[in-house]
Amino acid sequence: MSLSVGIVGLPNVGKSTLFNALLKKQAAYVANFPFATIEPNVGIVPVPDSRLDGLARVIKESERMAELPPKVPATVEFLDIAGLIAGAHKGEGLGNKFLAHIRETSVVCHVLRVFTDPEIIREGSSNPQSDFETVETELKLADLQTLEKQAEPKGTTSKDELARWRTVSKLKEALQKGIPAREVELDEEEQKSARSLSLLTAKPILVALNVDETDLKQGGELEERYSQELGVDRNQVVTICAKTEAELAELSLEEQKAYLQELGVGEFGLEKLIQRAYATLGLINFLTAGVKEVRAWTIQNGISAQQAAGVIHSDFEKNFIKADVVNFEIFVEVGGWQAAREQGKVRSEGKEYFIQDGEVVEFKIGAA
């Protein structure tokens, strides 16, 4: 499955700088005025996963290959969406484009300006909480417009139509009180109706605090503080210095790690952002390993082995027989598929088995 993250925020909070850092190149036109990014920049970013290195080494040795097999990481799609202003829900600024592009994403990542730079124009207040509320308000107002366009059922109607209208009324009441759709408790039937409405505030969110480099050491404290001020779960807030990470992207990996060590920072903010996006959506990766490639595949946590097979190819799901499964650490320790089978480390699982994160899997497929 694909994971797409929409990077949103007021103009000049560092959205395009963050996007450039993610792509490891200057792909977006970053200018010092609102609406510099007119169309959304879309970038496919590999998900860092050191397990692929281990798999590649094991396959090379166990299969007596001259070279390492290709490594294919899972990916995240990031959209750098043009800056919005108050009134976007009415189409002001680039509002219509902004709202349409958000609908295409899985997660909305709010970039908030916490850094200080008097040379960069700032739209709105100097308060990150106020900026967050401005964007959230525009999304709520846009959702209210969507709900108000829904027709109330007349006369004899189906059970599904009545459930849909009940859901519309419930969500409208919440939004009028300033409660986003994602925080409204819905039963299974109502959730189904809500999904068909494609509401913007139903999407899960992340918050990227774009800070000064000197504040990176206090990242944990800042994340705790702003999670409380914004009313957002602590695990959905990430501290990052987009400018620093964009500059680091020009260096070698060894130089990047050395610089982070000098700053007293344990890991890249960008990697944390990707990890939080995965966790927010409840995603995990399973692994496949062979002479053609070693690869990470993204699935929803809690899906069956048969459904996971369908991520590779629909025929795999249709003609599923079983899944041979081995823990990644064991796979590397024993030295590949043959050794794992000889030592009884491979489990044969049926279609109802729930694939776990980091498991190395080989699907057995019947004839079409």
Q: Can you say how many angstroms the Cα of residue 363 is from the centroid of all Cα atoms in its chain?
A: 27
Q: Name the band, by pLDDT with cuts 50, 70 and 90, for residue 313.
A: very high
Indicate the range of 83-97, 127-141, 271-285, 336-350 predicted with least confidence.
Answer: 83-97
Q: What is the pLDDT of residues 39-92, one digit of tens each?
A: 557 788 888 899 999 999 999 999 999 999 999 988 888 888 875 656 655 655
State in Å, rounded, how far the first CA of the chain is from the last one.
23
Domain ranges of the chain: 302-365
Point out which residues pair with 44 in neighbouring strands: 77
**How confident is the model at residue 205, as a pLDDT?**
97
The binding site comprises 12-17
**How confident is the model at residue 101, as a pLDDT?**
82
**How confident is the model at residue 223, as a pLDDT?**
95
Q: What is the pLDDT of residues 152-208, one digit of tens each?
A: 888 767 888 888 899 999 999 999 999 999 999 999 889 999 999 999 999 999 999
Question: Which is more confident, 233 or 265?
Answer: 233
Q: What is the DSSP letter of 74?
A: -
**How confident is the model at residue 96, as a pLDDT?**
63
Work out the average pLDDT over 145-154: 88
Q: Is the dihedral of CA 155, 156, 161, 166 positive or negative?
A: positive
Mean pLDDT across the chain: 87
Q: Name the band, by pLDDT with cuts 50, 70 and 90, for residue 256.
A: confident
**How confident is the model at residue 47, as a pLDDT?**
85
**How confident is the model at residue 237, as a pLDDT?**
96
Dist CA 121 CA 135 (whole Å): 18
Tokens of 89: 């829900």
Does 32 have pLDDT greater than 60? no
**How confident is the model at residue 23, as a pLDDT?**
76
Does 266 have pLDDT greater than 70? yes
% the chain with pLDDT above 70: 88
**How confident is the model at residue 335, as a pLDDT?**
97
User: With contact defined as beta carbons under 8 Å apart, do 204 and 229 qualify?
Assistant: no
Does 124 have pLDDT greater than 70? no
Question: Which is more confident, 89 or 298?
Answer: 298
The binding site for ATP comprises 12-17
**How confident is the model at residue 39, as a pLDDT?**
52
Dist CA 175 CA 7 (whole Å): 23
Does 269 have pLDDT greater than 70? yes
Dist CA 206 CA 272 (whole Å): 11
Q: Which fold has domain 302-365?
A: Ubiquitin-like (UB roll) (3.10.20)
Nearest 5°: CA angle at 12, between 11 and 16?
100
Does 29 have pLDDT greater than 50? no
Dist CA 15 CA 43 (whole Å): 13
Q: Is the dihedral of CA 337, 341, 344, 347 positive or negative?
A: positive
Tokens of 162: 């009545």
**How confident is the model at residue 28, as a pLDDT?**
38
Q: Name the band, by pLDDT with cuts 50, 70 and 90, for residue 38.
A: very low
User: With contact defined as beta carbons under 8 Å apart, do 70 and 293 qualify?
Assistant: yes
**How confident is the model at residue 173, as a pLDDT?**
96
**How confident is the model at residue 282, as a pLDDT?**
92
Q: What is the pLDDT of residues 224-249, one digit of tens each?
A: 999 999 999 999 999 999 999 888 88
Give the closest residue to 34 by CA, choosing from 19, 20, 15, 7: 15
Does 149 have pLDDT greater than 80? yes
**How confident is the model at residue 27, as a pLDDT?**
45
Phi, psi of 7 (to 5 degrees): -90, 115
